[in-house]
Amino acid sequence: MNIVLVTGTRPQLIKTALLDRRLRQEHDMTMVHTGQHYDNYMSSNFFKELDIPQPDINLGIKAEMSHQQLGKTIEALGNYLNSLFHKPDLVIIIGNTSTALAGALAASKLHMPIAHVEAGTRCGDRSVPEEVNRILVDHLSDLLFCSSNESMGNLINKEGLSHGVYFTGDVLYDTYLHYSQQVGPKLCDVFVTIHREANVDNADNLFAIGKAINSLKGKVVFPVHPRTEKMSHISITLSNNIVTTPPISYLDTIAYIKGAKLVITDSGGIQREAYFAKVPCIYIGTAGNPELVACGATIQVLADTDEILDTARTFSNPQFPESLLGYGNAVENIVGIIREWES
């Protein structure tokens, strides 16, 4: 079977690593990289670190405004897919980025079957760009691979999508289990990542978060995302106990999460990795994983200095129930479902 896998961002590359490798054992695979993340810190270094084959096609889309990027990516992906002599039997979309939405729209317009990895994830806030992306991708897809039972419920019970819906578990858990064996913990008191548009592009929110980070005690490790770096002029000078770095590798990220006493983030991926590592997490914003809040692994807060600090001081008795996001066999489940679907 001819399969095209569409990727374009750091999180998608991390989730792609094991899935692409496994699918290549049974199918003719083409990996298309849109270029949504294009610098070494956010893209190219991950191919080497995670032993991912270099993409067969790199579209090189680097428009900075999201609507420009989306439009150019749809056009480029559509042109590429339409140019193929052997049309793909399946186009695989991962996650909820602009790349994911562009891939689904381009494939749908060309009447190509679509599989969505991480289907059904919802945060309940449509002001979050990723929420709109994932809803649209799900309703365009033929195979919907859900990371949790809650995600399945969102599709079946709330949105009326019952055909082609499968619980597979979280491919990110597979990735974590595989690569975390390669690194030991790097000790710190708090590991922080901030990158989301609502927190970084809003001066008041960024200042409030920066003020909270500045007041944290102990060793704080804070890799600075390119979006955050661009806005650093409106934040505050950080204390000496805060170690800032450029974006770090996936393996270093896992090592710091494993060695942290607390994670503070606005990344859904980091939130989940903290759950996998059994480290309490404070999530800033509304875009996180509701399952991890409901179970007690995460506390969700607003971009408010006092709320962040009060939660950091009082967060106790976190809960990490097993198998909430599957059993670490999501890749094999997906491969098996595709095999059956093909036949």
Active site residues: 195
**Cβ pair 171, 18 in contact under 8 A:** yes
**Cβ pair 171, 334 in contact under 8 A:** yes
Strands 114-119 and 28-33: unpaired
Contacts of 125 (CB under 8 A, 6+ apart): 131, 286, 287
339: left (phi over 0), alpha (psi -120 to 50) or beta: alpha
Return the H-helix or E-strand segment holding 260.
strand 260-265
Sheet containing 2-7: which strands, arranged edge to edge?
57-58, 28-33, 2-7, 90-94, 114-119, 143-146, 165-167
DSSP 69-135: HHHHHHHHHHHHHHH-SS--SEEEEESSSHHHHHHHHHHHHTT--EEEEEET---S-TTSHHHHHHH
128: left (phi over 0), alpha (psi -120 to 50) or beta: beta
Query: Could you tell me which of 191, 156, 198 has the C-alpha nearest to residue 279?
Result: 191
Q: Which two tokens stand for residue 53?
A: 């084959």
How far is the C-alpha of 156 from the C-alpha of 177, rounded, in Å?
Answer: 29
How far is the C-alpha of 146 from the C-alpha of 166, rounded, in Å?
Answer: 6
Sheet containing 298-301: which strands, arranged edge to edge?
242-245, 220-223, 188-193, 260-265, 281-284, 298-301
